[in-house]
Amino acid sequence: MTYPLLSFDHLLRLTDDTGILQHARWSVPNPQEGYTLDDNVRAFVVALKGHACTGRGDLLELARRYLGFMLYAQRDDGVFRNFADYGRNWLEEAGSADSNGRALWALGYGAHHAPERGIREAALWLFDRAKSGIAGLTSPRAVAAALLGCTEVHAADRNPGQMLVLVEHGAHYLAGLYDQVVIDGWHWFEASVTYGNATLSQAMLVAGALTGSACYLEIGRNSLEFLITLMFSEGKMDVIGQNGWHARGGPRAVFDQQPIDAACMVEALLVARRICNEPRYGVLATMAMEWFYGNNRLGASLYDETTGGCFDALILGGVNANQGAESTLAHLSARMAR
Buried b / exposed e along 138-175 (16+ C-beta atoms within 10 A): eebbbbbbbbbbbbbbbbbebbeeebbebbbbbbebbb
Percent of the chain at pLDDT exceeding 70: 100
Q: E strands of the chain, at which residues?
A: 24-25, 28-29, 35-36, 83-84, 192-193, 232-233, 236-237, 246-247, 303-304, 309-310, 313-315, 318-320
CA dihedral sign, ordered 13, 16, 18, 21:
negative
Q: What is the C-alpha separation between 255 and 236, in angstroms, rounded?
A: 16
- What radius of gyration, in Å, describes the C-alpha atoms of the chain? 19
Q: What is the CB-side half-sphere exposure of residue 325 using CA atoms within 13 A?
A: 27
C-alpha 96/C-alpha 84 separation (Å) is 13
pLDDT at res. 129? 98
pLDDT digits (tens, 9 = 90+) for 316-330: 999 999 999 999 999
- Peptide linkage before 238 cis (omega within 30 of 0): no
Q: State the pLDDT at residue 101.
A: 98
For residue range 169-186, list pLDDT tens digits in order: 999 999 999 999 999 899
Model confidence over 294-314: pLDDT tens digits?
999 999 999 999 999 999 999
For the chain, the structural domain boundaries read: 9-336
Q: What is the pLDDT of residue 184?
A: 87
Q: Rounded to an integer, what distance in angstroms lies between the CA atom of residue 220 and that of residue 198?
A: 9
- Helical segments of 183-336, H only: 198-211, 214-231, 259-276, 279-290, 325-336
Q: Tell me the whole-structure pTM to 2 decimals.
A: 0.98
Burial class (CB in 10 A: 0-12, 13-18, 19+), 327: buried
Stretch 208-235: mean pLDDT: 98
Q: What was the pLDDT predicted at 257?
A: 98
Tell me the per-residue pLDDT of 4-52, one tens digit each, with 9 for 90 and over: 999 999 999 999 999 999 999 999 999 999 999 999 999 999 999 999 9
How far is it, in rounded angstroms, from Cα 82 to Cα 30? 17
SS percent in the chain: helix, strand, coil, step 5: 55, 10, 30
Overall average pLDDT of the 131-147 stretch: 98
Secondary structure, 3-state, 170-191? HHHHHHHHHHHHCECCECCCCC
Contact 208, 217 (CB under 8 A): yes
- pLDDT attached to residue 235: 96
Q: Given this structure, which CATH class describes domain 9-336?
A: mainly alpha
What angle (nearest 5°) sits at the alpha carbon of residue 139, between those of residues 273 and 134? 85
**What are the tens digits of pLDDT across the range 84-128?**
999 999 999 999 999 999 999 999 999 999 999 999 999 999 999
By residue count, the chain amounts to 338
Q: What does the pLDDT look like over 261-284, one tens digit per residue?
A: 999 999 999 999 999 999 999 999
What is the rounded CA–CA span in Å between residue 205 and residue 270?
Answer: 11
The CA distance from 73 to 311, in Å, is 27
Residues 228, 290: Cα–Cα separation, whole Å: 15
Phi, psi (rounded to 5 degrees) for 295: -85, 70
